Amino acid sequence: MKVGVFITARSGSTRLSGKHFLPVKGRPIMAYLLDRIQFAFARELAREDAIVAIVTGNAEANRLFETTFAGTAVFYGDDDNIPRRHAQAAAHFGVDSIVSVDGDDIACAPDAMHAVYDGLVSKKPLVKTQGLPLGLNAWGYSTAFLKLGS
């Protein structure tokens, strides 16, 4: 089973445009989230049981993800429908399940992401953590579960 850890983000936020690229100690803020995910899933990534990708829309402004976070896969899909975008990215990367991380949740708990991953690997169709402060919980679903909604 292969799992995609998909960071859902776009650069055209209406409330704070370009927020993922804002510098914190000289680095884009989302780089810290990517580092934590890479560290938390190092074994799975090395075994190619997982892939980390930024999953965004087709708007031209989103091309900045590719240049800013070189070395991280970036997928461009549906601009408005995130479940459809995830389904498109899952097909593109050949993943069976998705750990969904919002690019705004830079403090998303690696333990929560891994708990979701473990649940998905054990064939649960929908997994989410609860009880953590806002922005720290994680969730995910199998691609079969995602197709039920389409």
Residue 120 belongs to a domain with what CATH number? 3.90.550.10
Which stretches of the chain score pLDDT less than 70?
Answer: 148-150
Q: What's residue 149's pLDDT?
A: 56
Question: From CA 103, how far away is CA 3, in angstroms rounded?
Answer: 18
Predicted local distance difference test score (pLDDT) of residue 148: 67
**CA dist., res. 65 & res. 35, Å (int):** 15
Q: Please tell me the pTM assigned to this model.
A: 0.94
CA distance 145 to 41: 23
Buried b (16+ CB within 10 A) or exposed e, 79-97: eeebeebbbbbbeebebeb
Neighbours of 58 (CB within 10 A): 12
Give the total number of structural domains in the chain: 1
Range of the domain at 121: 3-148
The tokens 């691609």 sit on which residue?
143
